[in-house]
């Protein structure tokens, strides 16, 4: 295969592999037959970038990524020859199979049938920050893994893909929660040392819980982020999520949705606003978004709720 010319951001790694940033379209098209069908924006989610690819038979030259790469295979079983570092395997990718390639690891591959997959590019600094928030380790080395059936990672990948396809209907807090769960799973199962999550008892101190709830109430109409709420509680997003659920029985995302529905009920009872106006006033993207969550929490649609008053 003829080696392509390199864009300014793409340089040979020490091993001779092309150092590639898979979050940049100019790098991707130098090593893959086409760009992604769907892709998140750089910095859109906390340390995670998603791309969805559909490729014909192809051979990837040896590359090394600036990010940790998690490949999630979709839809069509595919036979792949995969090189990673000095290791080689012939892999039969099934739907939900996952490949883990740590940052800076030389790798290449070829396949002889259509290949559909999600590529999750993880910021190594964000990954290290999460590891330190779990057990104060100064290092967290992600291990390469050729293939494994991973229903959790597969589900997170599909949920993030659906979030992009919906125009980010779930909001930042929902996506942040998915990314945090992904990082935690990788830390537990794919690092040099199992990241034993400490047992936390008692939930959030009352004054911190009250501060977070007051903040949510004041800014319910905003697209709240997990890091934003965690900062109010003066905790890492990982600890905050776990302690908040211990205190309330709900994840931060579930709590915010519940509060939006409760405020919508009050506004609908007052009868001064249209359903579309109520949806926007309580932080939902549009009326259909309100209808979806209102029925889940209340058991009836907003219109039926109004008629029953």
- Are the C-beta atoms of residues 114 and 177 closer than 8 Å to each other? no
From 192, 195, 182, select the one nearest 241 (Cα to Cα).
Answer: 182
- Whether pLDDT at 251 is above 50: yes
- Whether pLDDT at 6 is above 80: no
* Tens-place pLDDT, residues 136-190: 555 668 899 988 889 999 999 999 999 999 988 888 899 999 998 999 899 888 9
The overall average pLDDT reported for the chain is 86
3 state SS for 51-109:
EEEEECCEEEEEEEECCEEEEEECCCCEEEEEEECCEEEEEEECCCEEEEECCCCCEEE
Domains of the chain, start order: 11-189 (2.60.120.10), 206-307 (1.10.10.60)
* Tens-place pLDDT, residues 270-282: 887 899 999 999 9
Sign of CA dihedral 176, 179, 185, 188: negative
Q: What are phi and psi of 10, to 5 degrees?
A: -115, 120
What residues are paired with 50 via a beta bridge?
120
CA–CA separation, 276 and 303 (whole Å): 12
CA–CA separation, 285 and 275 (whole Å): 12
Of the pLDDT bands very low, low, confident and very high (cuts 50, 70, 90), residue 5 is: very low
């Amino acid at each position: 295969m003829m080696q392509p010319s390199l864009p300014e951001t793409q340089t040979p790694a020490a091993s001779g592999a092309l150092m590639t940033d898979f979050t940049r379209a100019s790098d991707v098209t130098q090593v893959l037959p086409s760009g992604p069908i769907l892709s998140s924006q750089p910095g859109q989610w906390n340390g995670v970038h998603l791309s969805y690819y559909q490729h014909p038979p192809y051979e990837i030259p040896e590359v090394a990524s600036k990010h940790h790469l998690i490949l999630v295979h979709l839809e069509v079983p595919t036979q792949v020859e995969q090189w990673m570092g000095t290791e080689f395997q012939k892999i039969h990718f099934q739907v939900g199979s996952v490949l883990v390639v740590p940052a800076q690891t030389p790798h290449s591959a070829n396949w002889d049938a259509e290949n559909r997959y999600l590529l999750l590019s993880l910021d190594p600094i964000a990954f290290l920050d999460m590891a330190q928030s779990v057990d104060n380790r100064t290092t967290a080395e992600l291990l390469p893994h050729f293939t494994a059936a991973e229903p959790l990672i597969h589900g997170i990948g599909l949920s993030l893909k659906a979030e992009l396809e919906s125009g980010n209907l779930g909001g930042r807090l929902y996506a942040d929660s998915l990314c945090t769960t992904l990082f935690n799973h990788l830390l537990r199962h794919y690092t040099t040392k199992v990241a034993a999550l400490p047992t936390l008892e008692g939930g959030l101190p009352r004054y911190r819980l009250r501060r977070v709830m007051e903040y949510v109430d004041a800014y319910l109409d905003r697209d709240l982020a997990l890091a934003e709420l965690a900062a109010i509680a003066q905790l890492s997003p990982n600890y905050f999520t776990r302690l908040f659920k211990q205190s309330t029985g709900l994840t931060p995302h579930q709590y915010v949705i519940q509060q939006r529905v409760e405020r919508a009920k009050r506004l609908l009872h007052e009868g001064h606003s249209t359903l579309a106006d109520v949806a926007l006033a309580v932080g939902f993207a549009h009326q259909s978004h309100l209808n979806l969550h209102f029925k889940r929490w209340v058991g009836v649609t907003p219109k039926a709720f109004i008629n029953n008053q």
